[in-house]
Structure 1
Amino acid sequence: MNTISSDSVTSTALRRRCYLYQLGQIPYLEVWNWQRQLVEARKQNPGLPDVLLLLEHLPVYTLGQGASLEFLKFQTDSTVELHRVERGGEVTYHCPGQLVAYPILNLNFYQRDLHWYLRILEEVVIRVLALYGLPAERIPGLSGVWVEGRKLAAVGIKVSRWLTMHGIALNVDPDLTGFTQIVPCGIADRPVGSLAQFCPEVRLEVVQQQMATAFATVLGLDLLPIEGRDPTAG
């Protein structure tokens, strides 16, 4: 298992305050708009705390900014919700039962290194899966986190002026049939999997808290839980 020690990560940054929003099922466009507002606010005021959004999406497909339509198995004029967004990577699928994490971080306070940041996001998932005794790993040349050849978590980011948006999608216990309508992340020869396939009794609300704790540990964050649905309101 390829991991990063907590000391090697947290020593790169002063402890940062981070607002934590643990939300429910929210339409994709609503959260996408929140992310852009949060990033813009931090461009105007770099001293604002970081933000971590943890949530589920209603069924939706998203394409990275350079993603190819050849990886879709449906027509783009169909009733399926599909959005091209500014993250990297190919097409992916979000639905209930999948835990999505959107960190809005100012990498000027960590490391201005996109490869480092991608590995950090993977490390968060690896640590969560380790709690279930799963030997999660990275595969050279491919992003995301894998268990026994199945991709359990996808990673896609956008960074502007070293402010991050988008993030991680971990399949906890989703209906995986939605992935059959695409070539997930453009990888045709490796299956998508879920945590529930290995741990049938897993509960998403528990995994959500475990992911928050893993973020705090790996990045050296002081998490400040915030009540409320709209993180741009306060």
Structure 2
Amino acid sequence: MTEINNQLIIRQIDTGDYETIWHAMQDFTDNRDDEVVDELWVVEHDPVFTQGQAGKEEHLLNTGDIPVVKVDRGGQVTYHGPGQLVVYLLLNLRRRKLGVRDLVTQIEVAIVDLLKQYSIDAYAKKDAPGVYVDEMKIASLGLRVRKGCSFHGLALNIDMDLAPFLRINPCGYSGLEMLQTSKINGPKTVAEAADGLTQILAASLHATDVTTLIGLETK
């Protein structure tokens, strides 16, 4: 199994429809076996609020014309939209002998390391998953593990309209201020951030054989 753990596919998704990608992640996870190579899916979503398994209706303040999707990841409520980098981690944790808490830490460290390249002092919090800069949240995390395999992942704010976050209590915290990399001399585009972050994630997964693919087809 060591050799297959060295392989990784980075898939650039060419549709932003949240539900299409979510159901594709479920199908990928349900149908995979120990011979399937792990993948990172890179996407920018169309505007959508997602409500995790712990998400409470009271944290959806005024969603307006933006759809709300109840999903099977951990965590509370958040917003996805254009200008935000989303990376989904479809990993066989059992094969990698990787615990969920270890994966969360690995993701947070990868984001912190990316921002460090831009001289941004970012950090994680033990009691509130995600990555922060000066007490403002710049990246959110939410995972699901099924059959020993992970899906869902991270969202890093790059250059987006942050106003929709005011329509919710982000991650269940009233008044939590959101931040994005383009405003603090970090990555200016999703593509720039995606290139840097997927390289760091691949290295942290000890992937030496990395393939980049375009599109959602997984077969």
TM norm structure 2: 0.93
The separation in 2 between residues aligned to 1:201 and 1:56, in whole angstroms, is 15
Name 2:192's counterpart in structure 1.
206
The separation in 2 between residues aligned to 1:195 and 1:177, in whole angstroms, is 16
Letter in 1 for 2:6: R
The separation in 2 between residues aligned to 1:201 and 1:210, in whole angstroms, is 9
Name 1:57's counterpart in structure 2.
45
Pairing partner for 1:28 from 18, 26, 29: 18
Letter in 1 for 2:205: L
The separation in 1 between residues aligned to 2:157 and 2:146, in whole angstroms, is 27
Per-residue deviation at 1:145?
0.3
User: Does the residue aligned with 1:211 lie in a helix, a strand or coil?
Assistant: helix
Letter in 1 for 2:85: L
Structure 1 residues 109, 175: CA separation in 2 closer, same or farther (over 3 Å shift)?
same
Cα pair 1:51 1:105 within 8 Å, conserved: yes
Name 1:4's counterpart in structure 2.
none
Cα pair 1:71 1:182 within 8 Å, conserved: yes
The separation in 2 between residues aligned to 1:111 and 1:150, in whole angstroms, is 33
- Correspondence list, 1:211-230, <5 A: 211-221=197-207, 222-227=209-214, 229-230=215-216
**Counterpart check, 1:46 vs 2:34:** yes
Unmatched segments (≥5 aa) in structure 2:
none
Cα pair 1:120 1:218 within 8 Å, conserved: yes
The separation in 2 between residues aligned to 1:79 and 1:189, in whole angstroms, is 21
Cα pair 2:136 2:178 within 8 Å, conserved: yes
Q: Deviations over 1:19-45 (max 9, x none)?
A: 111234511011101101110121xx2
Structure 1 residues 72, 140: CA separation in 2 closer, same or farther (over 3 Å shift)?
same
Name 1:16's counterpart in structure 2.
6
Name 1:175's counterpart in structure 2.
161
User: Does the residue aligned with 2:13 lie in a helix, a strand or coil?
Assistant: strand
Name 1:37's counterpart in structure 2.
27
Unmatched segments (≥5 aa) in structure 1:
1-12
Structure 1 residues 217, 96: CA separation in 2 closer, same or farther (over 3 Å shift)?
same
Structure 1 residues 133, 25: CA separation in 2 closer, same or farther (over 3 Å shift)?
farther
The separation in 2 between residues aligned to 1:120 and 1:200, in whole angstroms, is 20
User: Does the residue aligned with 2:44 lie in a helix, a strand or coil?
Assistant: strand
The separation in 1 between residues aligned to 2:189 and 2:58, in whole angstroms, is 35
Letter in 2 for 1:145: V
Q: How high is the sequence identity, in percent, across the aligned residues?
A: 28
Q: Deviations over 1:112-133 (max 9, x none)?
A: 4211111111112111111111
Structure 1 residues 230, 70: CA separation in 2 closer, same or farther (over 3 Å shift)?
same
CA RMSD of aligned residues (A): 1.7
Name 1:5's counterpart in structure 2.
none
**Counterpart check, 1:129 vs 2:119:** no
- Correspondence list, 1:65-144, <5 A: 65-74=53-62, 79-144=65-130
Cα pair 1:16 1:49 within 8 Å, conserved: no
